[in-house]
Chains A and B, each alone.
Chain A
């Protein structure tokens, strides 16, 4: 798919951005803790160069960052209604996105702030602890890592296509690995409906998606759907997510929400963000960039604006860290292009654009 020249360019960009990060000269500074180089020497830069295209993290859009910097968040700590305000505002905000269609979203009447989708997932695992947990290979590695560590019974759907009544399934839409609908997603919904199996649909990348999601959420099996602002806006570490259910849940997360002890700082930030920016803000702003970089690097554009698909970027020049953070992380063909969008001026100056 990619030429040797394009692979070489990918390598040069990785090293240049990694060094620029270490020298604090990115156009948009600020990294996530696990990726931040401790110094500007070779080994730290090499480690950072390995993760330039990994992760699904949001584009660090400077307009959003400036907006977040202008907010006074501490006032939300004293607002006992702030979480409710966000929960009430979120469904219409997400439904107003113009680049996807969620039919029968209104059936999900129970909306809860979630401390990242991870909180929702943990509660879902707990409430399905006696089931065999199922996921497609290439979906969010965190599920499998936790299941393995905690001793859950689980199996990839790809390794056993027989969905049974004792199963419980999770699937991201768009699918995390490809940025498109998983080729067996509709089949999975049918199977789950037929077998009475719960299906959690994880809309982690939905706001950044472009015409790849058109789903009828009325299917009985779809009991729960989750959303996140972490992949939409550069607020990952604020852990802002939402889960929506057709029936009121009875689990630890709901108990905490009923107690009104949710994170008000994050809820306040989330409310401000959705009042200021439409759900498809990033797609509208960066679709041209996706086209540019996919052509330049020989990648196939995906339905998620900050992803492109190409050769496994760990296949050349890497013996270690080929599965970033987890052996279940099998997303090395998916290039997160966010850092290229964020550092357009730098890359132009370096003649790497």
Chain B
């Protein structure tokens, strides 16, 4: 599986955000965040649990508050998630941010507090995207047949899916 994560609005405050990316319990990346992180891995299971932990932030030193307003804050935002070349687009919102203080923020791509952002999807990513979109929108009843036709064509031509 090829995973590409793009981050935006990366804020340095006494250092950049530290993140740890975990796929099905295996740590695949651990470092300060950067705009593009790519990961290659070979998960055994097609069901993928992807988590990105934001850790090591000390609010007393890594956030600057002036007159009650935050003027500087170590943080970042997850912008896009691409799996095997397919951008999950709006499906990235099928996720939640589990803060270390036990609060859960649904549909939150902002890495402010220490905590872990989680999403679950399946491989092949394209098939999951098509099925999930249809389950949500009920507007693509032929997705499965078209997916199979597409995969057959790719195989016939020896091209990537």
> Taking beta carbons and an 8 Å cutoff, which residues of A are in contact with B?
11-12, 15-16, 18-20, 23, 25, 40-42, 45-46, 49, 317-319, 350, 352
Q: How far is the CB of A71 from chain B (nearest CB, A)?
A: 33
Chain A binding surface SS class: helix
CB of B159 within 8 A of CB of A12, answer no
CB of A46 within 8 A of CB of B156, answer no
CB of B146 within 8 A of CB of A317, answer yes
- 18 sampled A-B residue pairs with Cβ under 8 A: A11-B149, A12-B153, A12-B156, A15-B150, A16-B153, A16-B157, A19-B150, A19-B153, A19-B159, A40-B159, A42-B86, A42-B146, A42-B147, A45-B150, A45-B153, A317-B142, A317-B149, A318-B142
Among residues of B, the one whose C-beta sits closest to the C-beta of A23 is B159
- Complex Cα gap A318–B101 (Å): 49
**Chain B residues near A49 (CB, 8 Å)?**
149
Q: How far is the CB of B122 from chain A (nearest CB, A)?
A: 16
Q: How many A-B contacts if CB must be within 8 Å?
A: 49
Q: Tell me if B152 is interfacial: C-beta within 8 Å of chain A.
A: yes
> Taking beta carbons and an 8 Å cutoff, which residues of B are in contact with A?
85-86, 126, 130, 139-142, 145-147, 149-150, 152-154, 156-157, 159, 161
- Complex Cα gap A129–B150 (Å): 48
- Complex Cα gap A137–B60 (Å): 75
Among residues of B, the one whose C-beta sits closest to the C-beta of A20 is B157
**Chain B residues near A18 (CB, 8 Å)?**
153
CB of B126 within 8 A of CB of A42, answer yes
Of B86, B139, B150, B159, the residue contacting A46 (CB under 8 A) is B150
Q: Which 8 A-B pairs have the closest CB atoms?
A: A15-B153, A19-B153, A15-B149, A16-B153, A317-B142, A350-B156, A42-B150, A23-B159
**Chain B residues near A40 (CB, 8 Å)?**
159
Given A15-B152, A46-B146, the answer on whether A41 and B85 have CB atoms closer than 8 Å is yes
15 new A-B pairs (CB below 8 Å) besides A42-B150, A319-B139, A350-B156? A12-B152, A15-B153, A18-B153, A19-B150, A23-B157, A25-B157, A40-B159, A41-B85, A42-B147, A317-B142, A317-B145, A317-B149, A318-B142, A319-B141, A319-B142
- Complex Cα gap A42–B160 (Å): 11
Among residues of A, the one whose C-beta sits closest to the C-beta of B159 is A23
- Complex Cα gap A18–B149 (Å): 11
Q: How far is the CB of B125 from chain A (nearest CB, A)?
A: 10
CB of A16 within 8 A of CB of B156, answer yes
Among residues of B, the one whose C-beta sits closest to the C-beta of A49 is B149
CB of A19 within 8 A of CB of B145, answer no
Among residues of B, the one whose C-beta sits closest to the C-beta of A13 is B153
CB of A19 within 8 A of CB of B154, answer yes
Among residues of A, the one whose C-beta sits closest to the C-beta of B126 is A42
- Complex Cα gap A41–B86 (Å): 8
CB of A12 within 8 A of CB of B142, answer no
Q: How far is the CB of B156 from chain A (nearest CB, A)?
A: 5
**Chain A residues near B159 (CB, 8 Å)?**
19, 23, 40
**Chain A residues near B153 (CB, 8 Å)?**
12, 15-16, 18-19, 45
Among residues of A, the one whose C-beta sits closest to the C-beta of B130 is A42
Among residues of A, the one whose C-beta sits closest to the C-beta of B160 is A40
CB of A12 within 8 A of CB of B141, answer no
- Complex Cα gap A42–B156 (Å): 15
- Complex Cα gap A12–B146 (Å): 10
- Complex Cα gap A242–B150 (Å): 42
**Chain B residues near A350 (CB, 8 Å)?**
156-157
**Chain A residues near B154 (CB, 8 Å)?**
19
Task: Among B86, B141, B145, B156, find the residue whose CB has the most chain A CB atoms closer than 10 A.
Answer: B156
Among residues of B, the one whose C-beta sits closest to the C-beta of A15 is B153
- Complex Cα gap A23–B146 (Å): 18
- Complex Cα gap A41–B161 (Å): 7
Among residues of A, the one whose C-beta sits closest to the C-beta of B140 is A319
Q: How far is the CB of B18 from chain A (nearest CB, A)?
A: 34
- Complex Cα gap A20–B140 (Å): 24
Among residues of B, the one whose C-beta sits closest to the C-beta of A350 is B156
**Chain B residues near A317 (CB, 8 Å)?**
142, 145-146, 149
CB of B149 within 8 A of CB of A12, answer yes
